[in-house]
């Protein structure tokens, strides 16, 4: 900032000729302001967290364009620059801990992870839910090899099963509940294991290492397109993914993010993340998942 010339030319004698002390104080204050360094505009720095349900490289490619979109739109909403970095946890529990402890500011989780993180920190804020054709439900699938003659879930008695992560909604809790409803518990299987990512489950079933496995429908479609020989044996309901903010994320920032997400459902960059945009959600929307998690305890 360049100071007006008359401030720089004021002498001690001329200042004392001012009619009032207030005038002297105004000049001194203005002069001090001129010589102080000017600070840059405030910047909102956020960390987005998720876990690698698929390959980490796939996760980065999936989210980075959307996060850049959020940066631009939230900058306009808040009137100050917004910068978002990404942190990908190697496992579900690590991602849950990151959000519960405030090490990330917001995250996209599966429904069961939401239930866990909400239990760990009741102050977790629900930003939005993803929309699936305007609804809050979508499908998880149980697959078998495409050449398998197994026709029903009951036929899996005495067979092997591949689950995803031990904290996965589809990969564990809801698929176990589906098996229990067909009369199959862990004792009724010849063996089972937790493989972590959904793609690893589908590939293991396609390679014949397990008779059946549970994974999300979108990953199933991607694997079939790549030539992995699997087919759907059964499907079950799941609740769409929640976007969450930590308990210490500024509510004004959360509100701005919610406004951006709810008003941009038809934008191509948004559809890469949530095909049909976002919906307002409540904690009660996830009671269906809580029930499935309780059922799975009998597995």
Total structural domains within the chain: 3
To which residue do tokens 């044996």 refer?
233
Q: Are residues 24 and 74 in the same domain?
A: no
Residue 123 belongs to some domain of the structure: yes
pLDDT in tens, 237-249: 999 999 999 999 9
Residue 40 belongs to some domain of the structure: no
Residue 298 belongs to some domain of the structure: no
Full-model pTM? 0.76
The residues, any chain, with a CB within 8 Å of residue 231's CB and separated by 6 or more, are: 143, 144, 145, 146, 148
Please provide residue 215's backbone torsions phi and psi, each rounded to the nearest 5 degrees. -155, 165
Q: Dihedral sign for Cα 109, 111, 112, 118, please.
A: positive
Q: Are residues 87 and 203 in the same domain?
A: no
Q: Are residues 28 and 74 in the same domain?
A: no
Reading across the β-sheet that carries 160-163, which strands appear in turn? 191-194, 160-163, 212-216, 137-145, 230-239
Residue 73 belongs to some domain of the structure: yes
Residues of the chain with pLDDT under 50: 1-39
- The pLDDT of residue 288 is 92
Q: Are residues 127 and 269 in the same domain?
A: yes
Residue 259 belongs to some domain of the structure: yes
Q: Characterize the bridge pairing of strands 125-130 and 278-279.
A: antiparallel
CB atoms inside a 10 Å sphere around CB 206 = 22
> What mean pLDDT is reported for the chain?
86
- The pLDDT of residue 42 is 78
Q: Are residues 83 and 143 in the same domain?
A: no
- The pLDDT of residue 59 is 82
Partners of residue 245 on adjacent β-strands: 106, 125
Q: Are residues 28 and 146 in the same domain?
A: no
Helices (H), 86-236: 92-100, 111-120, 175-181, 198-206, 217-225
Q: Are residues 230 and 253 in the same domain?
A: no
Q: Are residues 225 and 255 in the same domain?
A: no
Q: Are residues 92 and 209 in the same domain?
A: no
What residues make up the domain containing 122? 45-133+241-284
Give CA 75 to chain center in angstroms: 20
Residue 139 to residues 162, 273, 277, Cα–Cα distance (Å): 18, 17, 17
Q: What is the CATH number of the domain that holds 184?
A: 3.40.190.10
- The pLDDT of residue 164 is 95
Q: Are residues 82 and 222 in the same domain?
A: no
- The pLDDT of residue 264 is 79
Q: Are residues 88 and 109 in the same domain?
A: yes
- The pLDDT of residue 54 is 66
């Amino acid at each position: 900032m360049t100071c007006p010339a008359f401030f720089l030319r004021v002498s001690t004698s001329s200042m004392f000729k001012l009619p009032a002390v207030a005038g002297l104080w105004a000049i001194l204050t203005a002069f001090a302001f001129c010589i102080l360094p000017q600070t840059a505009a405030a910047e909102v720095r956020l960390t987005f967290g998720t876990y690698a349900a698929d390959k980490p490289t796939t996760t980065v490619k999936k989210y980075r364009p959307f996060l850049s979109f959020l940066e631009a739109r939230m900058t306009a909403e808040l009137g100050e620059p917004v910068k978002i970095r990404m942190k990908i946890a190697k496992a579900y529990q690590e991602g849950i801990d990151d959000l519960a402890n405030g090490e990330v500011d917001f995250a996209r989780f599966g429904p069961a992870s939401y239930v866990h993180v909400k239990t760990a920190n009741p102050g977790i804020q629900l930003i939005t839910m993803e929309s699936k054709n305007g609804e809050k439900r979508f499908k998880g699938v149980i697959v078998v090899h495409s050449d398998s003659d197994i026709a029903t879930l009951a036929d899996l008695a005495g067979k092997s099963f591949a689950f995803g992560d031990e904290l996965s909604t589809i990969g564990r809790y809801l698929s176990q509940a589906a098996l229990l409803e067909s009369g199959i518990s862990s004792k009724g299987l010849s063996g089972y294991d937790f493989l972590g990512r959904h793609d690893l489950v589908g590939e293991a079933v396609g390679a014949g290492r397990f008779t059946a496995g549970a994974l999300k429908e979108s990953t199933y479609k991607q694997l079939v397109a790549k030539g992995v020989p699997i087919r759907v044996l059964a499907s079950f309901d799941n609740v769409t993914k929640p976007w969450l903010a930590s308990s210490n994320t500024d509510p004004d920032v959360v509100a701005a993010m919610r406004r951006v997400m709810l008003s941009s459902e038809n934008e191509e960059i948004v559809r890469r993340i949530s095909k049909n945009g976002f919906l307002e959600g409540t904690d009660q929307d996830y009671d269906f998942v809580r029930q499935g998690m309780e059922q799975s305890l009998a597995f």
